[in-house]
Amino acid sequence: MDALEALADRLREQLIRRAAAGEGGDLHSRIRALVDVEAALLDVSARERLVELVAERSFGLGPLEPLLRDSSVDEVMVNGPGAVWVERRGRLEATGVRFEGVAELRHAIERILAPLGRRVDEAEPLCDARLPDGSRVNVVIAPLALDGPVLTIRRFRRRGLAPDELVEIGTWTPPLRDVLERAIGARCNVLVSGGTGSGKTTTLNALSSFIADGERVVTIEDAAELRLQQPHVVRLEARPAGVEGRGEVTIRRLVKNALRMRPDRIVVGEVRGAEALDMLQAMSSGHDGSLSTVHAGSAEEALRRVETLALMADVGLPHAAVREQVATAIDLVVHQSRMRDGSRKVVALSEVVRVASGPATRELYAVRDGRPVWRAALSDDLARRLAA
């Protein structure tokens, strides 16, 4: 800890004592006034830096504040009080940022969770939360985290990338963009698959931009990330249980409720549990044009995963019936991957077809050796829908 940081800690303690004594007013103003008195001999740039340090220690996230202000940082990963890692443009980078100890890191975690009515302790050492700007936060502490608290913050983009921007950066090709636009306009049910950090939500947000303005869209998410631009959008977000263990509202409950809200389209941010069955039933019972994402390594795996998740609903449906629903409900699977250079690309577009054993995928488009290839024409049925 250098002299400026040590002084910042002492000034923070003074602020706490003065607040306890009843001193009020704007905190930023009080910090600046205190710095001007206690550090009058420092030059202007040093005093400005000192104001930032005191503010970070008083109500910010400590040493993470500069990283969260950096628009190029997509994700912040704190592995205990040691080095902090970030993701920029799909690549991991070590930073010189670090916490002085477990106590400082726990203090930053508490500042995140307390305003949200959440907490972590030995009885509940895992927690998911969301910052006021929409960034997603995951916390793991002892006894599960062996080397100190683990804090992961996935940054939130205030404006999603538009389809043309995805074409420009190479995520989509122009012909693929045109097919996807026609598929959304034809009210095909589309599932976006891929691994963690592959850009599924970005693609889902871009696909939703093809929905006509006159439609009522209900979005359902675990943590609200989608930013639809249509004028008639209803946004629903799941709620975890509070500190008393009550008040949880699951994705599945929201999907069921959405069916009573007269939606033209239902957009589920990600299916990861029993809500898969309700989503399939919605897709195959008049709510055409629904969109969702799922974690999977390929389009074929995505269908198998949706089947497995639907069976978790524990309603006694035979496996064959669930497979039939998958074959009936989903029209297209868009598979996305993060490449070795950190870029995200749609690497496959597959049509879902029905075979004797249930649903299967028929690959229409793929990226092979870095080159996009159209491997098959649309089926007659899908071609008619897209041409209508």
Which residue ranges make up each domain of the chain? 1-57, 60-156, 163-387
Residues 262-280, mean pLDDT to the nearest whole number: 92
More confident residue, 223 or 49: 49
Tell me the backbone φ, ψ of residue 19, rounded to 5 degrees. -65, -40
pLDDT at residue 86 tops 90: yes
**3 state SS for the chain:** CCHHHHHHHHHHHHHHHHHHCCCCCCHHHHHHHHHHHHCCCCCHHHHHHHHHHHHHHHHCCHHHHHHHHCCCEEEEEEECCCEEEEEECCEEEEEEEECCCHHHHHHHHHHHHHHHCCCCCCCCCEEEEECCCCCEEEEECCCCCCCCCEEEEECCCCCCCCHHHHHHCCCCCHHHHHHHHHHHHCCCCEEEEECCCCCHHHHHHHHHCCCCCCCCEEEEECCCCCCCCCCCEEEEECECCCCCCCCCECHHHHHHHHCCCCCCEEEECCCCCCHHHHHHHHHCCCCCCCEEEEECCCHHHHHHHHHHHHHCCCCCCCHHHHHHHHHHHCCEEEEEEECCCCCEEEEEEEEEEEECCEEEEEEEEEEECCEEEECCCCCHHHHHHHHC
Summarised one tens digit per residue, pLDDT across range 106-154 is 988 887 776 566 788 888 899 888 776 677 889 999 999 998 999 999 8
The 265-268 sheet, strands edge to edge:
233-237, 217-221, 265-268, 291-295, 190-194, 332-338, 344-355, 358-368, 371-374
Domain 60-156: CATH architecture, name and number where available: 2-Layer Sandwich (3.30)
Q: Tell me what pLDDT residue 330 has.
A: 95
For residue 164, what are its two tokens?
């043309």
**Cβ 163 vs Cβ 177: under 8 Å:** yes
**Whole-number Å distance between alpha carbons of 257 and 251:** 10
In this prediction, residue 28 has a pLDDT band, given cuts at 50, 70 and 90, of: low
Look up the pTM and report it.
0.77
Closest CA to 280 of 266, 260, 300, 261: 266
Question: Please, which residues bridge with residue 249 across strands?
Answer: 239
Query: What burial class does residue 272 get, using C-beta atoms within 10 Å of its C-beta: 0-12 exposed, 13-18 middle, 19+ buried?
Result: middle
pLDDT at residue 9 tops 60: yes
On the question of a cis peptide bond just before residue 143, with omega within 30 degrees of 0, the verdict is yes
Alpha-carbon torsion, ordered 377, 383, 386, 387, to 10 deg: 120
In this prediction, residue 207 has a pLDDT band, given cuts at 50, 70 and 90, of: very high
CATH homologous superfamily, domain 163-387? P-loop containing nucleotide triphosphate hydrolases (3.40.50.300)
pLDDT at residue 50 tops 60: yes
More confident residue, 96 or 233: 233
CA distances from 21 to 17, 18, 341 (A): 6, 5, 55
Q: Tell me what pLDDT residue 53 has.
A: 81
Say how far residue 244 (Cα) sits from the centre of its chain. 26
Summarised one tens digit per residue, pLDDT across range 91-102 is 899 998 888 889
Q: Tell me what pLDDT residue 27 has.
A: 57
**Segment among 24-28, 253-257, 301-305, 311-315 with least mean pLDDT:** 24-28
Q: Tell me what pLDDT residue 59 has.
A: 57
Percent of the chain at pLDDT > 90 equals: 45
Q: Tell me what pLDDT residue 200 has.
A: 93
